[in-house]
Amino acid sequence: MKRQAIDILQEWKDRPNRKPLVIRGARQVGKSYLVRMFGKDFFDNIIEVNFETETWAEDLFARKNPIDTVAFLEAQYNQRINVGKTLLFLDEIQAGPKTLAALRYFYEQMPDLHIIAAGSLLDFILHGHQFSMPVGRIEYLHLGPMSFEEFLLATGNDIKLEQLRNFSLNTGFNATLHKSLMEDFRKYCIIGGMPGSIQAYIDTSSYLEVQRVLEGILATCQDDFSKYSGKMDHTLLRRIFSRLPLQVGRKIKYVNIDPHERSSNVSGALDQLELAKLITRVVHTYANGIPLGSEINSRDFKILFLDVGLLCRACRLDMTEILEAEDLLMINSGAVCEQFVGQHLLYKAPSYQRPEIYCWMRQKAGTSSEVDYVIQHGTKIIPVEVKAGTTGRLKSLHVFLLEKHRDFALRFNADIPSVTNAATVVASRESKPFRLLSLPLYLIGQTNRIVSAL
């Protein structure tokens, strides 16, 4: 299964000033598979060192002498390491965290050697490390679940993917293609973007087998709780984790997660789960200017789950209901569609940039206006709503546009694409014109291109 990140890795390979690359991402998103596929396609050979199974590896790299390290690896694996032709892959590097510090010496003494490191729960090491990080001598690639477009490619829908990438508001889609893509979207919501679940669907065409894989991933994620940093109660983590899927799309109130637990303990559990990348906070931004992250209120937030397929499985949503529902946005109070949009927007930034995502919650007593997401496009600040049909109410969107003096908004729904000239409607407020771009959910991957063309 091809990942779009392969193109990023190829660009990294050919860049003259590249640095050792560290891939960050949740468990089971396909980090190791991606590197192995990249090594196979673009190098003569790949030397893979697994720091969980090779207990000598951390001590070897801690010697801080890359030339001696390379000579030992050649003897150990009985393969030549030729600069420019060999990929050195350091997997499960969280088991040998001091190796991260040693990467600076490879950058300084053997800059032409291609090195990629990856590992599960790596963010715990990066968050609480007690060694000198090689600042400016390594670079990151943030990897999330497979996107809807990668899903289309993996399942043999190359022509549909090409049509998505060539879509223009001037040409539009015919009704048959729109219906077919919405069916693919429903399948993706059930299967999700985890490579293991997609591969299970490709191999068996069985949603039951997909469910088995997703259950296994959820169980594995919980088995990892014992590896988390600190002295967090594993029972508490399991309890909080089991309740979070039903909180997606809602403003988080600790009492709604666990009314019998102290808020500080719930907050600490969320911190741990976020470091593991099992959830992501969608933080309120005041959205008065850019960058959006410079003006936030971290106390007000929603959450995203790791993946929409895992969300559906964790919520025990019936796959037949999802496939046959006339209005998918009504399932689980719209959380499935909001999750789908959110996990794609989360990784829309360049891969070297830490994924961040924001929402807007009106900071005024007695009000409940909330905009699902707020994104930055160039110098523009764009409110994003996930709504049903073509005439769903957009009251919060109107409030945002008026208060932030914006004249453009984006809506994702189940209808065909459109651009309309509209006007805000807010009680006792003067109406202001704005443009509303409505896109079907399956066009999420083409958002930047379509907005740029307007």
Cβ atoms of 415 and 182 within 8 Å: the answer is: no
- Show Cβ contacts of residue 12 under 8 Å, excluding neighbours closer than 6 positions: 18, 21, 139, 141
**Given pLDDT bands bounded at 50, 70 and 90, which one contains residue 389?**
very low
Distances in Å between the Cα of 12 and the Cα atoms of 20, 116, 330 are: 10, 10, 43
pLDDT tens readout for residues 344-357: 999 998 899 999 99
Distances in Å between the Cα of 143 and the Cα atoms of 377, 399, 407 are: 21, 35, 33
CATH 3.40.50.300 fits 5-142, yes or no: yes
pLDDT of residue 192 exceeding 60? yes
Across 23-37, 315-329, 371-385, least confident range: 315-329
Does the N-terminal peptide bond of residue 291 adopt cis geometry, omega within 30 degrees of 0?
A: yes
The full set of domain ranges for the chain reads 5-142, 149-453
Percent of the chain predicted with pLDDT > 90? 77
Instruction: For the chain, state the CA radius of gyration.
Output: 23
Interval 65-73 mean pLDDT: 94
pLDDT of residue 140 exceeding 90? yes
- Show Cβ contacts of residue 103 under 8 Å, excluding neighbours closer than 6 positions: 20, 22, 115, 117, 134, 137, 138
Write down how long the chain is.
Answer: 454
Distance CA 75, CA 55 (A): 17
**Given pLDDT bands bounded at 50, 70 and 90, which one contains residue 322?**
confident
Report how far Cα 384 is from the mean position of its chain's Cα atoms. 17
pLDDT of residue 64 exceeding 90? no
- At 62 the pLDDT is 85
Distances in Å between the Cα of 119 and the Cα atoms of 197, 221, 241, 368 are: 20, 14, 22, 41
- At 120 the pLDDT is 84
What is the DSSP secondary structure assignment for residue 417, as one 8-state letter? P
pLDDT of residue 125 exceeding 80? no
Mean pLDDT of the chain: 91
**Closest residue by Cα to residue 387 from 424, 437, 347:** 437
**Going along 59-138, which residue ranges are E strands?**
86-91, 114-118
Collapse the DSSP code of 301 into the 3-class scheme (helix H, G, I; strand E, B; otherwise coil) and give the result.
strand
DSSP per-residue codes, 192-204: -S-HHHHHHHHHH
- Largest distance between two CA atoms of the chain: 78
What is the DSSP secondary structure assignment for residue 284, as one 8-state letter? E
pLDDT of residue 9 exceeding 90? yes
pLDDT tens readout for residues 393-440: 788 999 999 999 999 999 999 999 999 999 998 887 889 999 999 999
Q: Which amino acid is at 426?
A: V
**Given pLDDT bands bounded at 50, 70 and 90, which one contains residue 230?**
low
**Given pLDDT bands bounded at 50, 70 and 90, which one contains residue 28?**
very high
